[in-house]
Amino acid sequence: MKRLAAMGFLVCAAVVSGYMLGAARDGTPITAAMVSHAEQVIGLEFSAAERDSMLEDLEEYLASYETIRGFAVDNAVPPALAFNPVPAGARFEARQRKIRLSSVKKPERPGNLEDLAFCSVRELGELLRTRKVTSAELTTMYLERLKKHGPALQCVITLTEERALRHARQADSEIAAGRYRGPLHGIPYGAKDLLAVRGYKTTWGAAPYKDQMIDQDATVIAKLDEAGAVLVAKLTMGALAWGDVWYGGTTRNPWNLDQGSSGSSAGSASATAAGLVAFAIGTETWGSIISPSTRCGVTGLRPTYGRVSRTGAMALSWSMDKIGPICRTVEDCAIVFDAIRGPDGLDQTVVDLPFNYAAALDPGEMRVGYVPELFAEDYPSRGADSTSLEILRALGVDLVPIKLPEYPVESLAFILNAEAAAAFDELTRSGRDDLMVRQVKHAWPNVFRASRFIPAVEYIQANRVRHMIIQEMEKLDAEVYVAPSFGGDNLLLTNLTGHPCVVLPNGFDEEGSPLSISFIGKLYGEATLLAVAKTFQDATDFHLRHPEAFRARHADQGE
């Protein structure tokens, strides 16, 4: 029965029926009775005459499906239909200006280099620029920490040590020769293991792909190479971008090793929070930057859909996948985002629009919204979130109440499932989905199978409703709005519409686990969004707190 469900086909040009496909494959023709059974799956009812009339078409559809399945379609191949998040008539800034970072305190080289483990990218960059430390020293320090703490956190899939040390030595030579590339030059970082890196495995966190080699560098990796950053590790991810369970275990939260680190950018958030890398690259389809950043107490940026090329990245949902940085500060996110954004001539969804970030911001000049009903709900982090609103008001922000579009957002979630099932069609049909670690009801193998029964017509209808929501979101009277990170439908809604989000720590619960607040910006409005979020972060110190178990131990403290 599993095989039949996994190899189903579309009924009435839309829904898959495993029973019907099984019959057709052994030579039995499709019958009106089979169609009648399939009607129950799609919630429709046809007359006997209507069923009889469609039989010939269904046979032709089935033959077409079988023909298409005869062609090898790699996960990297996108559908010809591309999602466009731009509302009708929208206009965006076209002129690129030089980004303006905040001033940075001139750091000094510490006696113990490991004391730099939790420094921001901005601080580390200044140490490298002034040649108070070398990239080789930083890279070696982070590699040692990855080797020491990675096993406990289960956050590392592959160390890229040889590549890292080679790039670090190159960075040191260039900086010494006066060829400084910018604030990422010589900075060690980690990448979620769905990004291809030539010469290293790209496992997607899943047993069926644990030995996979992809002979290319993902565009994000290539852009960071160009900026002079140094890749030290490929970090864990939930298998095929679901949760924190990968083929080797469960990635841990540095604040509480009894907890998983959540999301699917699990290793990226965990390693950053534990000071094993200076920053990391994650991805989000529906919460995979927001959730682990919250759990691990770090700052994450989910950029606007179409801001960062996904070339060389595992596809899960072509209309929802986004790549962004996970860092220790908002401004670090701005620095990394500036390096990875922009077209590459390959990912056709990427737009070429400016990023005019300026750290200095007059909060009183900004129109910042908030969603009153979400903050009024009874939820665990309500106290910290209410305090966050008061901090914003104390900074001079005039918070404007807004109302999000009222649409059946949760009912659109199957858009992701349909696209994911297509992305891993071959995995399902081959039966290799049995190799996946998680086989429970709410895990990819079952979701992929069930998604074969999503009617094509309903998938298109859902995307038409999605288009309507995009138009309504453009009417919100705020440049940025603040919301509980998991309040209502906001997280799914803004992933469906492609809006950018910054998530940052705003407190701790009674058990000492981090909490977060989310800021959502206009489409392609990352510059303003990051500036507003930075204003809030600068008024707090939650991002400056780090898990005690992963701090450097000095000689007088022992191990």
10-residue mean pLDDT profile of the chain (559 residues): values are 31 39 61 95 94 94 92 94 94 94 90 97 97 98 98 98 98 98 98 98 98 98 98 98 98 97 97 98 98 98 98 98 98 98 98 96 88 96 98 96 97 97 97 96 95 96 98 96 98 98 97 97 97 97 97 65
Does the active-site annotation cover 288? yes
Give the per-residue pLDDT at 107: 83
Give the per-residue pLDDT at 20: 38
CATH of domain 113-407+466-550: 3.90.1300.10
What's the whole-model pTM score? 0.94
Does the active-site annotation cover 264? yes
What three-state secondary structure class fits 252? strand
- Among candidates 219, 226, 246, which has minimal Cα distance to 235? 246
Catalytic: which of 135, 262, 264, 451? 264
Give the per-residue pLDDT at 486: 98
Give the per-residue pLDDT at 364: 80
Catalytic: which of 268, 288, 319, 485? 288
Distances (CA, A) of 286 to 141, 229, 254, 310, 499: 34, 28, 23, 16, 12
Give the per-residue pLDDT at 558: 52
Handedness of CA 468, 471, 476, 481 (dihedral sign): positive
Q: What is the SS3 string spanning 99-126?
A: CECCCCCCCCCCCCHHHHCCCCHHHHHH
Give the per-residue pLDDT at 24: 41
Give the per-residue pLDDT at 26: 63
* CA 477 – CA 179 distance, rounded (Å): 45
- Domain ranges (residues) in the chain: 1-71, 113-407+466-550
Give the per-residue pLDDT at 361: 83
Does the active-site annotation cover 201? no
Catalytic: which of 120, 135, 192, 518? 192
* CA 392 – CA 361 distance, rounded (Å): 13
* CA 469 – CA 460 distance, rounded (Å): 14
